[in-house]
Each structure stands twice: as C-alpha cells, then as structure tokens.
Amino acid sequence: MTLEQKAQNTLLKQFEETRSRTLELVKTLEKDDFGVQTAYFTSPPKWHLGHVSWLNEVVLSKTQKNYEFYSEEFSKYLNSYYNQFGKPHDKAKRGLMSRPTVDQILEYYDVITKKVTGVLQNSLTPEASYLFTMSIHHEYQHQELLVYDLQHLLGDQYRPVRMTCVEKPSNLNQESIKIPGGIYKMGYSGNEFCYDIELPEHKVYLNDFQIENFPVTNGQYLEFIDDGGYENFSFWLSDGWDAVKKNEWNAPMYWEKEDGEWFTRDFVGKRKINPNEPVCHVSFYEAMAFCKWAGKRLPTEAEWEKAALWDDEKNSKTIFPWGNESPTKNHANLLDSYVWGCTNIGSYENGKSHYGCYQMIGDVWEWTSSEFAGYPGFESGFDEYNDKWFTNQKVLRGGSFGTPTLSIRGSYRNFFRLDERWMFSGFRCVKDI
C-alpha cells in the first residue's frame, strides 16, 4: 500500500468516526428536542446535524464535477454565513423552522455521509483531500458547539455517557511561574492539518512575565464576587460595565445563589460550586474585571503559547504542552473523556507544560487579551471561513472539556465576542516582571 493510499484510508476512517460521534451526541435526545432553540446565540440540534452535512456538500461541489446540491430548501436553511451560496438564514430564527423535519434532516445526514464515503474511497487530489480534512475539523467545531447548546437546552436532563469524574484531590499551591522573554516563534509548527489562522509561524518579542500555574478557580472567583466585584464599576471596562447592568450579571453563567450558598447547573445537575474547579462560563469582560481586582492581567496569546509549548531544555517548541504526543485521557479533559465538566486543578499531572502550568489544554478555553486578527503574512486558506471575523473578537486558547481530542493543539486559536459566555470559557492571570 502506498503512502497516498494509507493517508486516504486514514481520512476515510476519520470521516466515518466523526460522523458516528456526531450522531452519538444526539442519541439520548427525544424528537421534540431536536428543533428547539433556547436563545439567539444557540442553534437547534437538527440544524447542527444538517449544517455539517451541508458543509460536506459545499466541499463536494468544489471537488466533484457538475455536483448538484441535495435540496435548495435545505441549503437556504442550513447556510450559516456563506454569502457565496445566497443569503444565509437568520441565525436567531433557526428554531422557528419546522421544515425540514427532524426525520428529513436525519435522512439527509445519512445520504451525505454515504456520498462522501463513496468519494473518499477513490483517488483524491491533494486539494480535495485538504478540503475534506477541513470539513472533518469543521464538524469537530460543531460537535463542541452542539455540547454548548445541549447544556443550554437540557443540562442534566441530557444525561450523556459519562465516566467517573476525575477525583484527584487539589493539593496544588498557587505559583507564579517566571517565563523568560526574548524572541519567540509563534504559530503552528507541525506537519498535520491546521487552520489558516494558525499560520504563518512568525517571530514576536516578549518581555519577561509571570503566569499562574493553573486557571482561576471557582474559589478565587468567589472572593471577587464576595468583595463586590459585580457592584464596583472601577474594575470594569466601560462596555463590560454596560453588559453587567443590561444583563443583570452577578456571577458566571449558570450560577445561582440559594440561602446564601452558590450553586451551578450543568450536565451533572444542580450542585454546589466546587472551589477547586476552574471557573467556567465567564466572558472576556468578567475575566478582565477579575484581573484588575486582583492586580494582574490576562496574557497575550503569544505569552500563553510560549508558557504552554516552549521547552527550555530542548530549546524548541512542542505541539502540545507536554510534548508532541497526542493527548489521551491521562493528558487532558477533552470531549472524548466524557467527564463533561471541569475537573479539579492538578487532575492531569501528565498534562502540565514544561514550565509547570496545569490544564493548558482541556477543561476551559482561556481568554487572552489579544484581538482576533491574522498573523503577519496571513493568507486565507478557505473562502468566507475565518478571516471574515477579524473584528470585535478576542482570542481564546487551550480547548475545553467539550473539544474533540483530534481537533486540538497548542496553536489552535478560538475566538468569541467579548460578552459571550455560554461556551466553556475561563482564564488564567499573568503579571509583568
């Protein structure tokens, strides 16, 4: 078997596993659940299933001669933001559409899976192989988005497959780790798939700084709340303070206070706040306010990446914080672990970075202070995919417990608007030296 055939077989296997995983994520749903949209920023489960299939049709249309889309009606509904395929359907109204039906979407999902499987069994050009790989990674992104939306829709009623939660006691002490400055080469340095926004590798200059060895915890964030953090405008950016007042924020999303004690609602159900878990479901504004209250700041994404990936002993950069070995259940809390919640700080001893930073991959995406924009020398690799969002967004790094293992790496750049917090987002602090 040639290297090209092996690569194509790997691609086919990856595609089949990805499609199976997406279906697995919705297997506990009732049919009535599939069409519900709980907020303008979420999407119904049936839309996610349809959209990832439609994106595969987009790739088919770019790689197969005279390809005809399955349905004009489906394409109008399932187009997220690709203007080249007509006016996208209003995201806030995806849940108002009773047609196509759930059964029709599931049939469509199966039809497109079979079409792509057939194509992947034949010889592909490098360009086609790249586009199909991109569509697989696009589906990874929607698997995570689907998990966000399922929490907002059902929470503990969803009842996902769940392994015993990691119960390692939190005996870590807060440490500020010194990271030496100088020239750092930032961006993806591997040979596998990455998004265009992770390229090109480029040099940046960093001053010396100190970064905390674990993300801000619920216990630490409670101190901010108890000290009037949501009541004192002096900690907040102007837009952030407006968001606090407009949305009546007084704690992270899903938190509620009862008889003087804080609880959260997640896939486990209603439970007391665990002070040793990374704080989750906070916006950029909340992360910034905490940092100002604490006399610290958020890292830039270059600082975050060096702290996560640089190995002083080898004088080189790794793909993951612990080295170039792909993550396993011993390395990080990702979607495949089925923990489906944050774990105590220090739970993944094998997952710490060379500098000694814990949980830089998994558990929560970590806000940085960096604007989402192209790196110097950026060249768009996909039409209307990433670069159209180069405004009013901040970069998050590291992945979450909802991120599929095969999609993550230390150079991955996620991005959200400054007030969004329904995703699994947290942060860690740094200080200047």
For residue range 145-175, what is the model confidence (pLDDT) as tens digits?
A: 999 999 999 998 887 766 656 666 677 889 9
What is the structure's pLDDT at 114? 98
Q: Which residues make Cβ contacts (< 8 Å) with residue 224, sequence separation at least 6?
A: 289, 290, 293, 294
In the chain, the percentage of residues whose pLDDT exceeds 90 is 86
Higher pLDDT, 253 or 191: 253
User: Which tokens belong to 92?
Assistant: 């806030």
Three-class secondary structure of residue 167 per DSSP: coil
pLDDT in tens, 42-98: 999 999 999 999 999 999 999 999 999 999 999 999 988 888 777 888 999 999 999
Angle between helices 218-226 and 284-294 (to 10 degrees): 70
Among 170-174, 251-255, 337-341, whose mean pLDDT is lowest?
A: 170-174
Domain boundaries in the chain? 3-155, 162-433
Q: What is the pTM of this model?
A: 0.96
Higher pLDDT, 219 or 8: 219
Which residues share a beta bridge with 204?
Answer: 184
pLDDT in tens, 5-19: 777 889 999 999 999
Q: Identify the CATH assignment for 3-155 out of 3.30.420.40, 1.10.3720.10, 1.20.120.450, 1.20.1060.10.
A: 1.20.120.450
Three-class secondary structure of residue 177 per DSSP: strand
Alpha-carbon gap, residue 182 to 259, rounded angstroms: 51
Instruction: Calculate the CA 343 to chain-centre distance.
Output: 17
Three-class secondary structure of residue 161 per DSSP: coil
Q: Tell me whether domains 3-155 and 162-433 share a fold.
A: no
Residue corresponding to tokens 């591997």: 190
Alpha-carbon gap, residue 70 to 73, rounded angstroms: 9
**Mean pLDDT value across the chain:** 94
Q: Which of 182, 185, 89 is CA-nearest to residue 411?
A: 185
Q: Starting from the edge strand earliest in sequence, which strands make up the sheet with 270-272, in order? A: 255-258, 261-265, 270-272
pLDDT in tens, 19-56: 999 999 999 999 999 999 999 999 999 999 999 999 99
Q: Identify the CATH assignment for 162-433 out of 3.40.30.10, 3.90.1580.10, 3.40.50.1820, 3.40.50.300.
A: 3.90.1580.10
First to last CA, the chain: 55
What is the structure's pLDDT at 338? 85
